[in-house]
Amino acid sequence: MSENKETKKMKESLFYTPKHISKRVSAEEIQAADGFCEKYKGFLDKAKTEREAVKEIIAEAVKNGFSQYEKGGKYAPGDKIYVNNRGKAAMLAVIGKKGVSEGAKITASHIDSPRVDLKQNPLYEDSELALFKTHYYGGIKKYQWTAIPLALHGVFVKTDGSVVNIKLGENENEPKFAITDLLPHLGAEQGKRPLASGIKGEELNILIGSRPFDNSDEGDNIKLNILKILNEKYGVTESDFLSAELELVPAHKASDIGFDKSMIAAYGHDDRICAYTSLMAVLDAGTPDKTLIAVFADKEEVGSDGNTGLNSDFMKNFIWDLAKAEGLDGYEALSRSECLSADVNAAFDPTFPDVLEKKNASFLNKGIVVTKYTGARGKADTSDASAEYTGKIRALLEKNNIVWQTGELGKVDEGGGGTVAKYVANLDVDVIDVGVPVLSMHSPYEIVSKLDVYMAYKAFLAFNG
């Protein structure tokens, strides 16, 4: 049955029907997106932890003319500065022609990702195997972390204050680490556990060695051999684990997915995808009207508490200092500021359609997702952007031909989650969540669409003006 032409026209002008990006952009732009994503994949492989992300971000910034911020310093329009917050969070700023007198433009992403951390006294031997005890970080489905290659990243801090950096398992010839799982033959009882406890927290033990130090009958000989190796390689003893932050992350590299190579699978798209795109958008900004600030926060995956998370004052203090240098009250600069809380959202997955409500879910390849509210249980724990600010961002995206979509994090009362948005909003800043839709979010192998990644970059660029 053919549709009346007039009806079709009416529908086109009155209905809201988001389309696949490839129907909305040129072949050149698709090529540009693919090129952009090659560099993004490189960043993913180099910066798997918050500490490594800070190093990469600041190295990129320095290459692009940024210098370390000096408190109380006088800065002129076009000056580019960075702040390194304890090696685990960072901020870049480009001073605008109007400074912060009319507020700053903030993009706030996070650079920590769910992972498996070592406990403070982790090393033990059992049945002639050496293992590490762990405590997972952030929301993980624990069973997904067994039987995959893991790499060890992090630092030991010794009592003399020296820091020993560890990154082992990333190169092909380096050893990997693993969490073992039961064979199906003996997994019948385990198989009766609910999926959430199929692997329990105290079962996330890391296998790290199996050969003894010597042939004596002394106990803990395998453990001794591991400590000997660690001592030779890093100069540490067992007590140095007490002041260490050591993190197990998937050892695999980012890779294309699909015959058409349209997607990228990697560990930690959440939220290095927004960190990278907002970073590039600040590096590529000219001299803006309003001061631009890109924040790369730690601790989001555990609730943003702590002095490197956005529930602390580190960003607020920076903006107050910038305001003070301009003879302005800090709170005035903040209340005039606006922010894109740059974080991922759950993409609709046709294999699990029941958890999302299709009219309000985000989809791969429909562009950057704008999330007015996150939270759970009747919009609790969310700042819920105002219609006015949502309208402003919507207009900005439309004006700049940026393909975007709306998306909420799951059906009503299905679950939910939060971002840094509310912590920034609580500083009296206008904030809305924008980001990239992700499949298999919080798994060791998250998947995104290349075209969506590029749209995120373009959106941040347009926001920065």
* Residue 369 φ/ψ, nearest 5 degrees: -100, 130
Q: Which residue is nearest to Mn ion (CB)?
A: 271
Give 108 or 263: the residue with its C-beta nearer to Mn ion.
108
Tokens of 390: 């949502």
* d(C-alpha 183, C-alpha 190), whole Å: 10
Q: How far is the CB of 408 from Mn ion (least distance, A)?
A: 15
Q: How far is the CB of 452 from Mn ion (least distance, A)?
A: 15
* d(C-alpha 266, C-alpha 247), whole Å: 17
Q: How far is the CB of 7 from Mn ion (least distance, A)?
A: 42
Give 117 or 270: the residue with its C-beta nearer to Mn ion.
270
Tokens of 64: 């692009």
DSSP letter at 242 equals G
Report which of 152, 148, 91, 42 is spatially closest to residue 317, judged by C-alpha positions: 91
Beta carbons of 186 and 108 less than 8 angstroms apart: no
SS3 51: helix
Tokens of 427: 């500083």
Give 79 or 349: the residue with its C-beta nearer to Mn ion.
349
# residues contacting Mn ion (CB under 5 A): 3
Tokens of 162: 């020296």
Give 323 or 368: the residue with its C-beta nearer to Mn ion.
368
Tokens of 196: 């959430």
Q: How far is the CB of 274 from Mn ion (least distance, A)?
A: 8
Tokens of 443: 């798994």
Show the CA angle centred on residue 304, arms to residues 201 and 377, nearest 5°: 80
Give 270 or 298: the residue with its C-beta nearer to Mn ion.
270
Residue 446 in the binding site for Mn ion (CB under 5 A): no
Residue range at the interface with Mn ion (CB under 5 A); choices 42-50, 241-249, 339-347, 390-398? 339-347
Residue 117 in the binding site for Mn ion (CB under 5 A): no
Binding Mn ion by CB under 5 A: which of 52, 79, 117, 343? 343
Q: What residues between 346 and 385 interact with Mn ion by CB under 5 A? A: none
Q: How far is the CB of 345 from Mn ion (least distance, A)?
A: 9
Give 343 or 408: the residue with its C-beta nearer to Mn ion.
343
Binding Mn ion by CB under 5 A: which of 29, 271, 298, 452? 271
User: Which residues are at the interface with Mn ion (CB under 5 A)?
Assistant: 270-271, 343
